A and B are shown apart, each in its own frame.
Chain A
Amino acid sequence: MSRTDGSRFGKLREIARPDRVFDFMVPAQSPVDVRHGPILYLEDVSVSFDGFRAINGLNLTVDDGELRCIIGPNGAGKTTMMDIITGKTRPDSGQVWFGSRHNLLTLDEPQIANLGIGRKFQKPTVFEALDVTENLELAMAGDRRIWKTLLARLDREGQARIDEVLETIGLTEERYRLAGVLSHGQKQWLEIGMLLMQRPRLLLVDEPVAGMTEPEMHRTAELLTRLAGQQSVVVVEHDMGFVRSIARQVSVLHQGSVLAEGTMDQVASDPRVIEVYLGGDEEAA
């Protein structure tokens, strides 16, 4: 739109450019630097609530493009770990890095989301008063600032992207339905679709197949496996069958720290893991 010219007003015009904010106000959106190692790096993270140590010296690294499953009994700290990564909860101690450049502990939820970390909640949360297309439109990667949002129009490219995601999540038929009237499984899919619209570098998925039928589960597994490679995916799941069907690398969380790590078979034969689960969930496998 406007360019700098050599005149003395050039600078002024540069400052007054309506399509820009000052540099210090630009959110830190520099690309994630994964040249030197993992995309997600948690070191010695601890947090306690009223004396209860929900996370206790947790160490976890997720490599770029990896699909990682996190399993663990109730109260192992899985959801709290997600809360910490997405900025909802601040740990008492420890370090959390996204790539080698972004210290997540200094950022809040929107900043972290804009860096490229997407999250799917345990309970599907979609915007019920909006229709499916609108839900996807809101999640679409783009400039999130107020003025931009006010003036934003859905362009051809965006529309194409929405159509593509609608196709992926199988909701093309329902595109103009209000999200509130969708079935539980459809809401799960819609939420996954919203994650896709965000084009995150790292997806955190909390129990994606809860309440899904068997075929839906297969589709989800297929989708998540397909995503890995381009994006890093961390899946928290109870359903051992589902985990076994997608996981290459599994971490077992117990009492706030990693108990075991490895492939599903390695983990499943680990005596400590068996003890923790008491064989309880294993029959699903």
Chain B
Amino acid sequence: MSFTTGWKGPAPRRRLTIPMLLCLLMACGLGIGSEASAASGESQVQASKGEPQAQAKGEPRALLGALDTGSFQAKGDAAQAIAESGAEQKTRWLQALLDGRLGKERRGDRFYIVTDDSGREWPIIDAITFEDAGTGTRRTVDIFKINNELRTRIEGLLASLSLSAGNEASRLSAAQRLVGEVTADNADRVRGMRDDEESDAVRGQLDVALALYDLQQGDAEALDALRGNLDTRVRNALTPIAAGDSALAAEAQSVLDGIESKRAWYDRAQTLFFGLSAGSILVLAAIGLAITFGVMGVINMAHGELIMIGAYTTWLIQQALPGQPGLALALAIPGGFLVAGGFGVVIERTVIRFLKGRPLETLLATFGLSLVLQQLVRTVFSPLNRRVTSPEWLQGAWQINEALSLTLNRLGVLLFCLAVFAALWALMRYTRLGLEVRAVTQNRAMARAMGVRATRVDMLTFGLGAGVAGLAGVALSQLTNVGPNLGQGYIVDSFLVVVFGGVGNLWGTLVAGMSLGVINQVLQPWVGAVLAKIIVLVGVILFIQKRPQGIFAPKGRTS
């Protein structure tokens, strides 16, 4: 029995929480000494409690009046009477009752719906005419109390009400809500509605709801409809049934096992997704490095800081365009690429160029640059972390089914990574620059002899690698906060990816990044995040033993 499914009633939507309920109960209990409020018209009918059916047609006041009773059982019957009546306002009444916002004037006969119960003075409207009725307090309005059992019943009523009306979406959500809520009260009604229902999806949901009910009544046939259902409520309902040792229990257990294995499968898919999205960050961070290392043989320790620069560019553009995160992000993609790429070109021209053929010195010099860049950002933007708001279409999750939901920002990063990879691959494969880069990677001296301007290729390659780092920063800004240490955490991981994938090998980097991400994610639930990381580190170190050139090692005579 959960309240957490999307809840679309006509009344203001909100979740009832236990503390709120307690407050309401206390409020009602305390509101004894009451003051006179604007009296309204004369009280006409006190519904006779025994026979709610009598006022079946069109007597709103009588229908509501029946709720004014201390017995929850009678209240439930009254609610059912409302549901079965022809009153136009019935959905709203029941919703208000469920929310604890339906009440009766303490000194008088009017019924009110509280539209906002957050303050001391509640704005109220007339429950029958929905006209503004000023304000009330807990002293003037007597809220109808409900208990858990009654709540379940009202929810069932509401669900079957919205089943009979509204479009397919609202019927579907109502049907979903009915799962586990079908009781003897509404079973026949639901069954009737199921037969009238046109939509297959809604009918399927109703079948599940009914099957669950039938199963609770001991009907073994009903199990078939539940096979492979991922709904937590189905699982919860099946668990006690499977606990017995009857034939039904055994059957239920087998269904339950089927459900569990299906869930496990989706869990794995979920893990895979998380792994791939973590891996795509690694790939984005590592791929620029793989290019520069492959072509120039230099390790750029400032690579992490170029990622950070990309992320700060995103933040800056967003500051310049308040309220338009979508546009800002769209601009940040070229922006991050250009800014980080520009930094890269400057670094290449001023430092790396002079350290040709001295990879270890280059490593140290670029490490120094990384310290300077970090401190620079700290001085200019303060050491505090900055938050980049994601555009709406990157927020939330894509709920595929009960067991599998994909966070949109992670999905976005994954797709972005693949797009960047495809673009880079095409660049390397089909453009003149790509051809030159590959030539220099394979044999620098020969490429120079063939007229490739290796220094220009170096500069452009380094700029390209840095630009891709900037893109990684843009992507990262959608997942975490932006701070001066942002890039630092990725440097070791990216190098492992490069080493694992084989230097200068785009496909290797992709496969290595993704697999490291997935391996890490798979290990985490077993051994915890830190140990998982250590295991991956040690694993890569051992892997290098076997294949020092990475996964896709180029074989050849090395002279």
Are A50 and B557 closer than 8 Å at their CB atoms? no
Are A54 and B554 closer than 8 Å at their CB atoms? no
- CA separation between A155 and B556, bound complex, in Å? 43
Are B555 and A54 closer than 8 Å at their CB atoms? no
B interface: dominant SS: loop
Residues of B within 8 A of A50 (CB): 554-556
Q: Which of A62-93 contact B (CB under 8 A)?
A: 79-80, 83, 89
Are B557 and A49 closer than 8 Å at their CB atoms? yes
Of all chain B residues, the one with the shortest Cβ separation from A48 is B555
* Between-chain CB contacts (< 8 Å), 13 pairs: A49-B555, A49-B556, A49-B557, A50-B554, A50-B555, A50-B556, A54-B557, A79-B557, A79-B559, A80-B557, A83-B557, A89-B557, A122-B559
Residues of B within 8 A of A89 (CB): 557
9 more A-B contacts (CB under 8 A) besides A50-B556, A79-B557?
A49-B556, A49-B557, A50-B554, A50-B555, A54-B557, A79-B559, A80-B557, A83-B557, A122-B559
Residues of A within 8 A of B557 (CB): 49, 54, 79-80, 83, 89
- CA separation between A138 and B554, bound complex, in Å? 34
CB distance from B252 to the nearest CB of A (A): 59
Residues of B within 8 A of A49 (CB): 555-557
Q: Which of B101-125 contact A (CB under 8 A)?
A: none
Q: Which of A44-70 contact B (CB under 8 A)?
A: 49-50, 54
Contact with B along A197-212 (1 / 0, CB 8 A): 0000000000000000
Interface size class of A (residues with CB under 8 A): under 10
Of all chain B residues, the one with the shortest Cβ separation from A89 is B557
Contact with B along A213-228 (1 / 0, CB 8 A): 0000000000000000
Contact with A along B525-559 (1 / 0, CB 8 A): 00000000000000000000000000000111101
Contact with A along B261-280 (1 / 0, CB 8 A): 00000000000000000000
Q: Which of A96-127 contact B (CB under 8 A)?
A: 122
The 4 closest A-B pairs by CB, nearest first: A49-B556, A49-B555, A50-B555, A80-B557
Q: Which of B387-421 contact A (CB under 8 A)?
A: none
Residues of A within 8 A of B559 (CB): 79, 122
Of all chain B residues, the one with the shortest Cβ separation from A80 is B557
Contact with A along B152-186 (1 / 0, CB 8 A): 00000000000000000000000000000000000
Residues of B within 8 A of A54 (CB): 557
Residues of B within 8 A of A83 (CB): 557
CB distance from A256 to the nearest CB of B (A): 12
CB distance from B559 to the nearest CB of A (A): 6
Q: Which of A135-191 contact B (CB under 8 A)?
A: none
CB distance from A83 to the nearest CB of B (A): 7
CB distance from A207 to the nearest CB of B (A): 12
- CA separation between A54 and B556, bound complex, in Å? 9
CB distance from A51 to the nearest CB of B (A): 9
CB distance from B444 to the nearest CB of A (A): 16
Of all chain A residues, the one with the shortest Cβ separation from B557 is A80
Of all chain A residues, the one with the shortest Cβ separation from B559 is A79
CB distance from B480 to the nearest CB of A (A): 41
CB distance from B471 to the nearest CB of A (A): 32
- CA separation between A80 and B554, bound complex, in Å? 16
CB distance from B507 to the nearest CB of A (A): 15
- CA separation between A56 and B554, bound complex, in Å? 20
Of all chain B residues, the one with the shortest Cβ separation from A77 is B557
- CA separation between A227 and B207, bound complex, in Å? 96
CB distance from B105 to the nearest CB of A (A): 90
Residues of B within 8 A of A122 (CB): 559
- CA separation between A162 and B559, bound complex, in Å? 30
- CA separation between A122 and B557, bound complex, in Å? 14
Residues of B within 8 A of A80 (CB): 557
- CA separation between A172 and B559, bound complex, in Å? 31
CB distance from B269 to the nearest CB of A (A): 36
Q: Which of B56-77 contact A (CB under 8 A)?
A: none
Residues of A within 8 A of B555 (CB): 49-50
- CA separation between A66 and B555, bound complex, in Å? 34
Of all chain B residues, the one with the shortest Cβ separation from A121 is B559
Residues of B within 8 A of A79 (CB): 557, 559
- CA separation between A84 and B559, bound complex, in Å? 13
- CA separation between A89 and B554, bound complex, in Å? 14
- CA separation between A19 and B556, bound complex, in Å? 42
- CA separation between A50 and B556, bound complex, in Å? 7
- CA separation between A280 and B559, bound complex, in Å? 25
CB distance from A124 to the nearest CB of B (A): 14
Of all chain B residues, the one with the shortest Cβ separation from A75 is B557
- CA separation between A49 and B559, bound complex, in Å? 14
CB distance from A82 to the nearest CB of B (A): 10
Of all chain A residues, the one with the shortest Cβ separation from B553 is A50
- CA separation between A79 and B555, bound complex, in Å? 16
CB distance from B557 to the nearest CB of A (A): 6
Interface centre among B554, B556, B557, B559 (most CB of A within 10 A): B557
- CA separation between A49 and B556, bound complex, in Å? 5
Of all chain B residues, the one with the shortest Cβ separation from A122 is B559
Q: Which of B482-520 contact A (CB under 8 A)?
A: none
Of all chain A residues, the one with the shortest Cβ separation from B554 is A50
CB distance from A46 to the nearest CB of B (A): 14
CB distance from B342 to the nearest CB of A (A): 38
- CA separation between A161 and B390, bound complex, in Å? 77
- CA separation between A89 and B559, bound complex, in Å? 11
Of all chain B residues, the one with the shortest Cβ separation from A83 is B557
- CA separation between A83 and B558, bound complex, in Å? 10
Residues of A within 8 A of B556 (CB): 49-50
Q: Which of B249-294 contact A (CB under 8 A)?
A: none
- CA separation between A89 and B557, bound complex, in Å? 8
CB distance from A177 to the nearest CB of B (A): 24
Residues of A within 8 A of B554 (CB): 50
